[in-house]
Structure 1
């Protein structure tokens, strides 16, 4: 009778289910040490990144190594951004400082020209016929029509050409400024064969006076323009003879290139 082989019972496998929470615990510990390392740094940006990494480790999802691919390809560091802001701020301050210097130089130029013109007026006894005013937008030289023209005419008097020449010589020292020569009349309608309206008279006077200025070859015609305003820009009331006399005028305006924020405040004159 054959003996049956007796099989020893197999040993049961040990329960390994504890490995899963153990691995999770190690992962959490690793994430914790990463966060602690990040907190030891003074870089706020790095701390934020470590905090996000810790959140990822707790909640699942992409790991720290995959973070850059998820958030995009922006490689600018906080130091780069700070450097760019400082550079832009420096450029803005430099431009503001340069503009301020140019405005200061312009103010000196126009004050110098005004002083020269005022001196010419005083020396030649022309205070009743000429006036100057410097405001936030321009330097204006105002010339009475009696100093330049016969009544109802746009031809500059021969004796007045000397005045135009004197102004042109003063303008030589300021070649970079644009100049507007404008003609103005009172509101009394004109009626003759030469002019149909005050528009035509004022425009003709401005143009003819500008032509005399530009006989000076040192002046750049590209900087000059003439215009006629007729009766529509009065400086006094047209109800009196004195007011109408003030309104009949030619103005030579030297325009500022750099105007302040208050440039809209026309007529604010500086000290003579």
Structure 2
């Protein structure tokens, strides 16, 4: 009985420690694996040095986007950078240097020069019209503004026409003559647009509706510039928009007054 009990305890002990055999085998295999990997991973010194030297050359010669950039590592040749230095005429020590390497702006094309000249003319035109309005106390009748499309000159219908009519008043000739003298030297298109309020034309009017009235008023201004001031018709265009482009509330008297107008716009464009 004792021998059997002792044998059972020994068998239990042997069964409990068997996992260590598997663990030892695993550790041995891992050791062999890393030894093989280490043996296969020999470093090629020549290739490593070649790649390192190439990267260093690239970083040193690379130009920086910052002012006075001398490469990404700050050790590149300052005279071989692509972007020009922020200031010319002095080196890093404050001494004067030659302008041989200084970048010069590319010359402007003829069209760019023409646009620049036109902007100067438009600015001068606006200043002269503003001064004319001030001198003649016409602030409540004429308004001038600088818009993206050009210099816009808005004339009230009371200044140009009688109610429901498209014939120019005699008093408007002085102002239109002044504008004509300024338009003659411009190399651009002058657009003339007629606008009305939303109130329908009267039954006694010779115009069918506000479309005809607004177009006729714009045409009357155009006729003055062409027939009276003898300006070239090639520099003008006109249109009537009735009440489709209001600038005020048509439900109020003040808004309807603002909507009844003629807009003369000196466009920002060159003639072909």
TM bucket by the smaller chain? 0.5 to 0.7
**Residue of structure 1 aligned with 2:265, choices 253, 262, 269:** 253
1:152 and 1:193 map into 2 onto residues whose CA distance is 7
**Residue 188, structure 1, aligned to residue 199, structure 2:** yes
The 8 Å contact of residues 145 and 151 in structure 2, kept in 1 or not, is answered as: yes
TM-score (normalizing by structure 1): 0.57
Measured on the aligned residues, the alpha-carbon RMSD in Å equals: 1.9
Per-residue CA deviations over 1:19-38 (Å, capped at 9, x if unaligned) read xxxxxxxxxxxxxxxxxxxx
Per-residue CA deviations over 1:137-182 (Å, capped at 9, x if unaligned) read 11111000000111111111112122211111121232x1111111
TM-superposed deviation, 1:101:
3.3
TM-score (normalizing by structure 2): 0.57
1:202 and 1:95 map into 2 onto residues whose CA distance is 46
The 8 Å contact of residues 177 and 229 in structure 2, kept in 1 or not, is answered as: no
2:148 and 2:110 map into 1 onto residues whose CA distance is 19
Per-residue CA deviations over 1:187-226 (Å, capped at 9, x if unaligned) read 1111234011100110010101111122355521111122
Give structure 2 stretches of 5+ with no counterpart: 1-104
Give structure 1 stretches of 5+ with no counterpart: 1-92, 259-272
Tell which deviates more after alignment, 97-106 or 156-165: 97-106
Which residue of 2 is the match for residue 101 of structure 1? 113
The 8 Å contact of residues 202 and 230 in structure 1, kept in 2 or not, is answered as: yes
Which residue of 1 is the match for residue 171 of structure 2? 159
1:216 and 1:153 map into 2 onto residues whose CA distance is 20
1:95 and 1:193 map into 2 onto residues whose CA distance is 59
Which residue of 2 is the match for residue 213 of structure 1? 225
Which residue of 2 is the match for residue 197 of structure 1? 209
Residues 239 and 193 (structure 1), Cα distance of their counterparts in 2 relative to 1, 3 Å cut: closer
The 8 Å contact of residues 215 and 241 in structure 2, kept in 1 or not, is answered as: yes
Which residue of 2 is the match for residue 114 of structure 1? 126
TM-superposed deviation, 1:95:
8.0
TM-superposed deviation, 1:104:
2.4
1:1-272 alignment, distance < 5 Å: 98-174=110-186, 176-191=187-202, 192-216=204-228, 219-257=231-269
Residues 193 and 247 (structure 1), Cα distance of their counterparts in 2 relative to 1, 3 Å cut: closer
Residues 217 and 189 (structure 1), Cα distance of their counterparts in 2 relative to 1, 3 Å cut: closer
The 8 Å contact of residues 180 and 229 in structure 2, kept in 1 or not, is answered as: no
TM-superposed deviation, 1:235:
1.0
